[in-house]
Amino acid sequence: MNEKLEMLKNSLYNTNEMKDIKENPVVDSVLLAPIKAIPVLGDLIDSSTNKLLNDFQEKKEQELIDVILRDNLSITSEMVNDVEFIINFARTKEAVQRLATTDKVEYFGNLIRNGYLQGKHIEGSIFDEYIHILNVMSYREILYLVEYKKYCEDLSKKSKSTRHINGKIYSNKYEAFCRKFSKQIKVSPREVDYVFLHIKQTGFIEEEFETESGDVDENDNTFGSLDVESTGYYITKEFLDFYEMVLKRNE
């Protein structure tokens, strides 16, 4: 494990991208500098605070490395000396440094691990999209969506009302999920619905509508003068791909 860790670090630290990051720590240049510039608040920041932040950054970086090297992953020099990998690892490391908690560190590690180090090479545009999604989606949004996926999968095995996406079956069980999940986490169904409204912007869920006659139109949301009502959300293939690459845990 130590040999692989050193190989990975040495390959990365020899690049200008990693050199720039090392010489311009996020703690000093991004996190503390703006606060120190504020009168009164800046005067209260002392060396102990700086040490706490540095310790926290090191903890997140170590967790990122641990996820990447999990399960004795075999890494070759060709993998880590790829320019695209080096730059995207640097971007991932910087994104992790900006996290206020460790909740999403595993997901960033999975993106590097599954995207580059397991015999695959993720497309650059897809990497850009996935790292952007991880940056903008909250941990709560990710958690809710994963729970909804599991809920739909469980009920789809028992229900005749199912939706087929590339051979996988998912049901629109949104209303039932909101009722059950809101009780489980002790929030209102409205709060759950609010979170899913934000998730919709990722394209990971699609809203389903019902006309006044009870017919569901899956492809056309233009109903003219007809009264329409949202019946909830179903999960898209795009989320299934993202889940497999970024969110799925090794079991």
- Does the CA dihedral 9-10-12-15 come out positive or negative? positive
Question: With 0-12 CB in 10 A as exposed, 13-18 as middle and 19+ as buried, what is 192?
Answer: buried
Over residues 153-177, the pLDDT tens digits come to 887 666 655 555 554 446 568 888 9
Residue 21: C-alpha distances to residues 13, 25, 46, 77, 219 (Å): 9, 6, 23, 22, 46
The answer to whether 154 and 133 are in contact (CB under 8 A) is no
pLDDT of residue 24: 46
Percent of the chain with pLDDT over 70: 66
Angle at Cα 64 formed by Cα 59 and Cα 68, nearest 5°?
145
Over residues 172-186, the pLDDT tens digits come to 688 889 999 999 999
- Between CA 209 and CA 203 the distance in angstroms is 16
Over residues 71-95, the pLDDT tens digits come to 777 788 888 888 999 999 999 999 9
End-to-end CA distance of the chain: 20
Predicted TM-score (pTM) of the model is 0.76
pLDDT of residue 122: 95
- Between CA 59 and CA 63 the distance in angstroms is 6
